[in-house]
Structures are given as structure tokens and as C-alpha cells.
Amino acid sequence: MAIDLSAIVRELEAAPPAADLPWDTSIAVVNDTLRLAGLVPPPARTWEGWRRKWPRAVELVPELARALAATSLRAGTVRTLEAAGSLPKQALESFLDKTAPLTLEMVRSNPFRREEFLRYWIDRCGATVAGETPEQSKARLGQLDYRQALAEYRKAESARKAEAARRAQLLREAKKREEQAKGWRE
């Protein structure tokens, strides 16, 4: 099944300003979506375990619930899950794990992070993005991956620090050689 991501983004932008949904209400919205697809939702203790494992779930699950309640994402999710006949527990866990580095502010204010967040949900439900092949969707998700961006930033920062340390060492050595040469010149 294909879900029109651009339509969902437009619908979210046209929706009234977001009010933070309580955790229990957010879980109910996600669980209701699963029930509409004929699936048994995870029990409350499972959700509680996920909340402890991924603390940002407290802000990201409400954002997912908002997207499901305010856009066609719910209908697309239900269609996809009905066709699949299941949504493995691992799919929800994977969604929470993949989105764990994101914050609510990032998802709401940064179009790339919003797209990444929605694409992870679409992907984990087993749907595809309308107008894209699965390979294109996977490639785009790879481009958007915040974890990868963080890893690249850390790598660049580490390389910058190593280069700064190397230059400082070269300057110390040059200064030492200059001081040693002073005695010969005087």
C-alpha cells in the first residue's frame, strides 16, 4: 500500500496548532488505529516499558497520535495493516527506537525531521510512500536519518579536535626548536 506523504504534510500544516496530548490519550489513538485494522494493540504494560526505555516517546507518541488523528495517515495506516493482517510488536519498537533521537520541537519545526518521523511510521507499518519505489523510499530515509547525521557530526568533530591537537603539538615543537636555535645565534 502507498501512503501520500506530501498530502499528510499539507494536512498537518493546515491543522490547528498542536496541543500536546496526554500519554494515555496518545496511546488510545494509536491503539484505536490498530483496532480499526483488526489488530490487537499492545497492552498498557508494554507501552509503559517502551516509555521507560525511550523517554522521548512521551513527546513523540503524542505527535504520532496527532498525525493519525488529524491527517489521512490513519486511513493509510489502517488500509496497510488490514492488507498485511498484522503489525509485529517489533515494528512499534523499531519506530520508537528509530525516532528516539528526535525531539518534539525538531519534528514540529524542522521539515526534514518531520518527514523522517512520518517516513519511519510509514515504513514500519509496511507501507510505501506514494510515487516512490521501495528503494527510493529507503534511500530518502537514509538521507534523512538523524542518527547518521549525528554520527557524521561526531566523526567530523573528532577529526577537527585531532587536527587541532596535531597543530598545537607542531607549534610546540617549532617553538622548542626556535628556543634551542637561539643559543646558537647569540
Residue 178 banded pLDDT, cuts 50, 70, 90: confident
The confidence score (pLDDT) of residue 1 equals: 84
Share of residues in the chain with pLDDT > 70 (%): 97
| pTM, to two decimals | 0.79
Per-residue pLDDT at 49 exceeds 70: yes
In the predicted structure, residue 185 carries a pLDDT above the cut 70: no
Angstrom distance (rounded) from CA 68 to CA 29 = 7
**Alpha-carbon gap, residue 136 to 144, rounded angstroms:** 12
Residues 93-116 have a mean pLDDT of 94
Q: Say which residue the cell 617549532 belongs to.
A: 174
Give the 3-state DSSP-derived string for the chain, with helices as H, strands as E and coil as C: CEECHHHHHHHHHHCCCCCCCCHHHHHHHHHHHHHHCCCCCCCHHHHHHHHHHCCCHHHHHHHHHHHHHHCCHHHHHHHHHHHHCCCCHHHHHHHHHHHCCCCHHHHHHCHHHHHHHHHHHHHHCCCEECCCCHHHHHHHHHHHCHHHHHHHHHHHHHHHHHHHHHHHHHHHHHHHHHHHHHHHHC
pLDDT for residue 39 is more than 70: yes
pLDDT of residue 168: 87
pLDDT value at 120 more than 90: yes
Which stretch of 19-33, 84-98, 142-156 has the lowest confidence by average pLDDT?
142-156
Write down the domain spans for the chain.
2-144, 147-186
Question: How high does pLDDT run on average in the chain?
Answer: 90
